[in-house]
Amino acid sequence: MFEQNYNFAFLDEASKREIRRATLKAIAIPGYQVPFASRELPIGRGWGTGGLQLTLSLVGKEDVLKVIDQGSDDSVNAVSIRRLVEDTTGIRTTESTEEASIIQTRHRTPDHPLRNDQIMVYQVPKPEPLRDVEPSETATARMHGEMDYSPMWLALYENIVKYGNMARGADYPVMINKRYLMAPSPIPRWDNPKFHYAGFLSLFGAGREKKIYAIPPFTHVESLHFDDYPFEIENFDGASCIDCGSANGFLQVIPAKGGTWIHRCSDTAFCLARRNASLKNAEVQA
Amino acid sequence: MAYVTVTGGQTAIQEAEKYVKYMRIGQAETILDLNAVQGQLRLLIDKVMSEGGLYAPDEAALALKQSEGDVMEAAFLLRAYRSTLPRTHVTSTIEPDDMRVIRRISSSFRELPGGQMLGPTVDYTHRLLRFSLRKESTSDVQEFLEQYLPNIAPAHTVTSMPKVVELLREQGMMEAKLADVDEEPFDITRERISYPAPRSARMQMLARGETGAMCALAYSSMRGYGIVHPTIGELRVGYVSMYVPHPFAPEDPDRALYIGEMLVTEVESINNFKQSNEGKPVMVLGYGLTIGQNELKAISMAILERSLDTVGTSPAQDEEFVLTHIDCVESSGFVSHLKMPHYVTFQSEIDRISQSQAHYDSKDKTSSIAKDAVTEGAMEHV
């Protein structure tokens, strides 16, 4: 617990308001990276301080927060972030996707469908989708301004020539509202389609890079692809979760002896809900 | 009955915190006294305050104790603490010309008005381990002070020495002083820097930069990846007075309120006239200023500040490259974030490698895939 009395949600009110103003601008210009004066927080810079600043600026006393890291509520970093918000706000937190009003996440969108009144807050390590093809911030700002995304198309094309596919794993670039190329943060490609005309608000915070951007509800979101090389989500070859049997969620693989794999749901809350539901069914039948 | 989630994360963190505490003090015979840290690890305190961007010797000592002496971690603790402090006042511009100097050297002139003053430095001390320090006692200190203090002149600090570069300006060899800019400086803690950055933002980034990173970049410029290799016109270490404008007479400098003094290191470097851009060739100034006594950083800052104004392709000449990579909280934060789980991204990578390997295996060595891709790869504009 904190030894001193910090302000509600750690940051001072003026800082929170500044972050909310940047957020409003981000919502008004879907996919555009809004610069903001990112504050240092008591967790590592590069460990979710962008998402955390969004969360801290948004939470009110009535909010219920869920924090996940790689799909898990119990991941040490999720625990650490949740504990910081609990300690500085006293608000209720949850592991249930349905109960949460704000969900801060590192690199997953829950597999349970979201409601329109829920807000997703994504932690972003590299907000600039063009950074892989252009190291300079000055140059990428110009490219966005001119909607010059040809180096990205070329990079994808070169991968097809070399590897037979787009060869991009997570953080697969998306075009927002047919205008801005955007890094969806390193979520698996599996989660990209969930953004398209989604009813919920998605906010993205990059603390170290000092950028906030957003996908407002009901926005056109398209993952980059060619006519003859469609966008593909991860393929699990029909595998299902060893715990809940689901083949409908993103799976994480666990190497097993003999060169085989075990599959388990990446979204632990989704998996738990399924297991509890089947237990309940079994009890009812018994 | 229902499944419950495993809550190992919380327990693991708590156990890790206990283990750290044990490593920090579990085998200590005497507990580290903060006065001792602050009084005897002076240069470390200065570095932490400078990189943390907060002049707070007490908190810097605490941060160092808490972080078991990890400088970057200590600077980070100060920076996070800084985020919680409301900004109530802004000091008036400090005047390093009126510094209460404890050390002042010039590599440009052997003799100069005001003289050279070695002050506290180990520059000319042989770097031999002094084994006698193992048994240093308070009575040794007492004895030393009794001999040392009466013999130092009351004016072992000097105020208001003329600047060396001013002498060169009088000779017409040095570029003219930048005109006083009467505008609100950029504030890197309140706005995101963009490039090209205003000079005030650039100087703030450098003043808060990490000593090691800045030293490496300055070194690269001197060695050949860049063109800046200056002569030190003047290096001063001393105390500058800090004032805040009087709330009822903010425009009147005479009524400004004295709030204390701060130790700083200031470097003015003199650079080759070939770096002057236009007109009559003149020598060009490089400037460095840092909290505390940190001469390596102040010199590095003077080199980088100058280097960023030169044109070329070396890293130390690229403003965006230098300024975005010298902040220790940001660089250490991002490098260390690799310790966090990356299961999802890695999973996504595994999926791609499987497909790419299959592609490789299936491909005939004289494959026409590349050609096919060229002819059929119609681009869809989304």
A 153-182: CB under 8 A from B: 153, 157, 160-161, 163-165, 167-171, 175, 178
pLDDT at A5: 66
Search chain A and give the residue with CA nearest B16. Answer: A76
Domain boundaries of chain A, sorted by first residue: 13-129+175-222, 235-286
Task: Judge whether A34 is closer than 8 Å to chain B, CB to CB.
Answer: no
pTM: predicted TM-score of the whole model, two decimal places: 0.86
- Please list the active-site residues of A: 31, 241, 244, 265, 271
B-chain CB neighbours of A106 within 8 Å are 340
Report yes or no for ipTM above 0.95. no
Instruction: Determine the residue among A163, A192, A196 to mutate to test chain B binding: the one whose Cβ has the most chain B Cβ atoms within 10 Å.
Output: A163
- Digit-coded pLDDT (tens) for A206-221: 999 999 999 999 999 9
Q: Do B355 and A11 touch (CB under 8 A)?
A: no
Task: Judge whether B2 is closer than 8 Å to chain A, CB to CB.
Answer: yes
Q: Do A165 and B13 touch (CB under 8 A)?
A: no
Search chain A and give the residue with CA nearest B194. Answer: A138
A-chain CB neighbours of B360 within 8 Å are 163-164
- Average pLDDT over every residue of A116-125: 97
pLDDT at B179: 81
- Digit-coded pLDDT (tens) for B328-373: 999 999 999 999 888 888 888 888 888 889 888 887 555 544 444 4
User: Which residues make beta-bridge pairs with A69?
Assistant: A72, A106
- Digit-coded pLDDT (tens) for A129-159: 999 999 999 999 999 999 999 999 999 999 9
pLDDT at B177: 83
What residues of chain B score a pLDDT lower than 50?
A: 1, 368-382
| Alpha-carbon distance A114 to nearest alpha carbon in chain B (angstroms) | 20
| Alpha-carbon distance B314 to nearest alpha carbon in chain A (angstroms) | 14
pLDDT at B115: 85
Query: A13-129+175-222: CATH homologous superfamily?
Result: Bacterial phosphonate metabolism protein PhnH (3.40.50.11310)
pLDDT at A286: 77
B-chain CB neighbours of A269 within 8 Å are 5
Instruction: Determine the residue among B344, B362, B375 to mutate to test chain A binding: the one whose Cβ has the most chain A Cβ atoms within 10 Å.
Output: B344
